[in-house]
């Protein structure tokens, strides 16, 4: 099992859309076992992959089992939960640790523990790493995250093997790459210092405390593309310079320290603006590439749906290739 975070320090880049559709493609088309951990307090991945009626029932029930129910006991000093509930999304063919807006309530507790010393503070830091022990039978576990550099995202990144950066084609997304690099370096150094003061690592009650996070790649998103005379999809000129700056910015950062670099490079692929297919997919609670006439697809939309399948196939192939190269 490999755990992968989808993260960037900028909102509105299509992160959840990328995660859910890549997860759906790997599950439906590649036959892989995928679990999604919705660690974003906005719970957008959960809302995307499940029908509205189900979501309403989940959050109306006090007994609903969500990510909040797994994390909260750790922040109360009660130790790790022994069970983890997952819900099947039949339309995406993945299992989901349901998101919960109440997860935002534990942000301050996790932040306070990070600033403290001792075994308890480290247990909360490793809460998602311990969660992964319940998910060892999956091929991949995907963490959906908010855009902050807060304690919830820090815990998810520390837990994971790899992370993917979704990048919208603007200068603010490029700057976010530098922010991630700087903050990750600080977190790694501080975590190593905190671990040095633990007399016996077994006191943490965490099965695996090794930090192995690496950059898996980035995906360029939300740009306008046109076909050239050869039928190749190319970004319009206004986006070309920024797209050229992205690999340069990544190369200058500390994000590629882990060697070897993947032979195929760090760009996993590109997702141009898919316009109305995205809200159609969200409304239908289905992957973009699986939309049909019954979901509202008409006319030229059918060609766009077919094109989206090619796009996610290319990203999925490169995703697997990079993991194999870096493993």
User: How many other CB atoms are there within 10 angstroms of residue 253's CB atom?
Assistant: 18
Contact between residue 286 and residue 270 where contact means Cβ atoms under 8 Å apart: no
Residue partners of 130: CB distance under 8 A and separation at least 6: 80, 205, 206, 207
H/E element, 23? helix 15-28
Report the 10 Å Cβ neighbour count for 58.
18
3-state per-residue secondary structure call for 185-228:
HHHHHHHHHHHHCCCCHHHHCCCCCCCCCEEEEEEEECCCEEEC
pTM of the model: 0.90
Q: Residue for token digits 């882990």? A: 258
The dihedral through the CA atoms of 220, 221, 225, 229 has a sign that is positive
**DSSP 8-state code for residue 260:** S
Q: Locate tokens 């009660």: which residue?
A: 78
Query: What is the pLDDT at residue 103?
Result: 93
- DSSP for 103-164 reads GGGGHHHHHHHHHS-SHHHHHHHTHHHHHGGGGTTSSEEEEE--SS-SHHHHHHHHH-SEEE
CB atoms within 10 A of CB 64: 15
Q: Would you say 86 and 94 are in contact if contact means Cβ atoms under 8 Å apart?
A: no
Q: From first to last of the 327 residues of the chain, give the pLDDT tens digit.
A: 999 999 887 777 789 999 999 999 999 999 999 999 999 999 999 999 999 999 888 877 666 689 999 998 888 888 888 899 999 999 999 999 999 999 999 998 888 888 887 787 788 899 999 999 999 999 999 999 998 889 999 999 999 999 999 987 666 667 777 778 888 888 888 888 888 877 777 777 888 888 888 889 889 876 555 555 555 555 555 566 666 777 777 776 666 555 667 877 888 998 888 888 999 999 999 999 999 999 999 988 899 999 999 999 999 999 999 999 988
């Amino acid at each position: 099992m490999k755990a992968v975070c989808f993260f960037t320090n900028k909102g509105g880049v299509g992160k959840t859309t990328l995660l859910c559709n890549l997860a759906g493609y790997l599950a439906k088309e590649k036959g892989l076992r995928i679990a999604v951990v919705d660690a974003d307090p906005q719970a957008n991945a959960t809302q995307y992959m499940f029908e509205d009626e189900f979501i309403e029932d989940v959050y109306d029930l006090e007994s609903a089992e969500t990510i909040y129910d797994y994390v909260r006991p750790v922040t109360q000093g009660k130790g790790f939960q022994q069970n983890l509930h997952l819900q099947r999304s039949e339309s995406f063919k993945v299992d989901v640790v349901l998101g919960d807006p109440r997860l935002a309530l534990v942000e301050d507790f996790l932040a306070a523990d990070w600033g403290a010393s001792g075994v308890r503070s480290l247990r909360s830091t490793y809460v998602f790493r311990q969660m992964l022990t319940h998910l060892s039978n999956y091929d991949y576990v995907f963490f959906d995250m908010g855009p902050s550099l807060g304690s919830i995202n820090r815990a998810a990144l520390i837990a994971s093997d790899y992370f993917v950066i979704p990048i919208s084609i603007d200068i603010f997304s490029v700057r976010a790459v530098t922010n991630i690099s700087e903050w990750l370096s600080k977190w790694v150094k501080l975590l190593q210092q905190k671990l040095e003061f633990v007399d016996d690592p077994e006191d943490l009650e965490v099965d695996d405390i090794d930090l192995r996070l690496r950059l898996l790649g980035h995906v360029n998103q939300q740009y306008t593309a046109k076909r050239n005379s050869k039928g190749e999809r190319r970004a319009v000129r206004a986006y070309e310079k920024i797209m050229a700056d992205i690999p340069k910015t990544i190369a200058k950062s500390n994000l590629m320290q882990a060697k070897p670099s993947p032979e195929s490079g760090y760009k996993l692929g590109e997702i141009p603006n898919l316009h109305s297919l995205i809200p159609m997919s969200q409304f239908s609670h289905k992957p973009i590439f699986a939309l049909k006439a019954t979901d509202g697809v008409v006319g030229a939309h059918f060609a766009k749906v077919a094109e989206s399948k090619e796009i996610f196939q290319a990203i999925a192939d490169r995703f697997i290739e990079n993991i194999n190269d870096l493993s």
